Amino acid sequence: MMMLPAAGITRFVDRGQGCPAPSATCGNREGNSVVDIKRNPTRAVKIGNLTIGAGNPIAVQSMTATKTTDIVATIALVRLLEDAGADVVRIAVDSRKDAEALAPIRKATRANLSVDLQENYRLAEIVAPHVDKLRYNPGHLYHHERQKSWQDKVRWLADIAARHDCAVRVGVNCGSVDPAIKDKFPHEDSISPMIASAIEHCEFLDSIGFTRYCVSLKDSDPDKVVEVNQRFASLRPDVPLHLGVTEAGLPPHGIIKTRIAFEQLIGRGIGDTVRVSLTVPNDRKGEEIAVGREIIRDIYAGRVRSVVDFNRNGLNIISCPSCSRVENEAFVNLAENIREMTQYAAEHKITIAVMGCRVNGPGETDDADLGLWCGPQYVNLKRGPESLGALTYDEILPRLKAELDALIAARSASSA
């Protein structure tokens, strides 16, 4: 048993028990806290029948992984997540057909629904009447109507959200930062551009009188997730934060990575809503909710282990959570097979990234030593930012092993 970091903690009592009675004041939906945590003084943001921020209990959410146009399957997964205790369920919308599917989905559930607008912000007009929150990525706004300023696009999004009683999440991801901001910072500094982008959008939303928003700043490295959120929270302690380690990967490692980040942040009073992003099949998506609640409960009970060094000097496999953007469900099995195949390289400090789609895949594999992003028929293999070509799902494992062996040999020769 280990104490949380001192910052933000005023009392620690390990009674070896859970939290038996509900208590909103401690910020823990699971019950009374044995650790007093001074929450950041964030403002309240209403999402459907839920309110985050302002000391309200930390909300736990997840995301559907079915094709949104498969309305029956998507409704079934929304209900599975709702039954698992999800406070918010996010659905990805990548096309007009996806957007139009939101109407019957909304009629079939009372869950608080959030929509991920992906690369086409204009779809907000179609989906907003049927959801409770709109999520946009500042780094994706330039994909459409490039002649129009991002300010005009955000002003339009805020107006749509206000008219349809929706909250907004400004979602900044490490692999898709606005190029105009990223170019202003040194290549090795991946955190400052994320913060600059988030602050810029917060200031603009405030300036037009729209304050019903929260922010997320995500990376696949738990250390970076901690740093970027701490730095942002020091600049804008009033803005509710959604926490998550993007592409946390397969259990149990994905759970450990997420736990490390959440313990350091929630233990300091940072975080109003969370997502545990695990690479699991659709019928196991409820595990994301269960794990998220368990981590929060453990933090408030003082059961933490964030001083553990999560194999910083060994093999690191990151993989994204299965979601509706995944174009071939074989991606999940591929990630499992890669973990098994690479066990012989466990002592080598090498990062392999396995992404399930074309949206985040190309950018979020750039910083990995070896990256894979999966399409319907082919897996695109990369060495750092360099493309090595597209291989079938049957061909990819032997080729990946050859590249891994070559990388190990080159590094061994260099160190020798």
Residue 3 within a domain: no
Helix, strand and coil in the chain, % to nearest 5? 40, 20, 40
The pTM score is 0.76
Q: Provide, rounded to the nearest whole percent, the portion of the chain with pLDDT above 90.
A: 62
Choosing from 240, 268, 301, the residue where a domain stops is 301
Q: Is it the case that residue 31 has pLDDT exceeding 80?
A: no
Q: Are residues 233 and 355 in the same domain?
A: no
Residue 2 within a domain: no
Predicted pLDDT of residue 397: 95
Q: Is it the case that residue 6 has pLDDT exceeding 80?
A: no
Q: Are residues 47 and 120 in the same domain?
A: yes
Closest CA to 133 of 154, 164, 102, 107: 164
Q: Are residues 328 and 236 in the same domain?
A: no
Phi, psi of 388 (to 5 degrees): -110, 5
Closest CA to 245 of 268, 231, 227: 227
Mean pLDDT in the chain? 86
Q: What is the CATH number of the domain that holds 178?
A: 3.20.20.20
Q: Are residues 182 and 225 in the same domain?
A: yes
Choosing from 249, 277, 301, the residue where a domain stops is 301
Domain that holds residue 353: 316-415
Place of tokens 């999440």: 169
Q: Are residues 374 and 256 in the same domain?
A: no
Q: What is the β-pairing status of strands 9-12 and 35-37?
A: antiparallel
Predicted pLDDT of residue 282: 92
Q: Are residues 282 and 344 in the same domain?
A: no
Residue 47 within a domain: yes
Q: What is the β-pairing status of strands 316-319 and 273-275?
A: unpaired
Q: Are residues 119 and 260 in the same domain?
A: yes
Q: Are residues 99 and 149 in the same domain?
A: yes
Work out how many domains the chain is built from and give that number. Answer: 2
Q: Is it the case that residue 174 has pLDDT exceeding 80?
A: yes
Q: Are residues 225 and 373 in the same domain?
A: no
Residue 1 within a domain: no
Place of tokens 């109003």: 272
Q: Are residues 395 and 274 in the same domain?
A: no
Choosing from 246, 270, 301, the residue where a domain stops is 301
Q: Are residues 225 and 368 in the same domain?
A: no
| pLDDT tens string 139-160 | 999 888 889 999 999 999 999 9
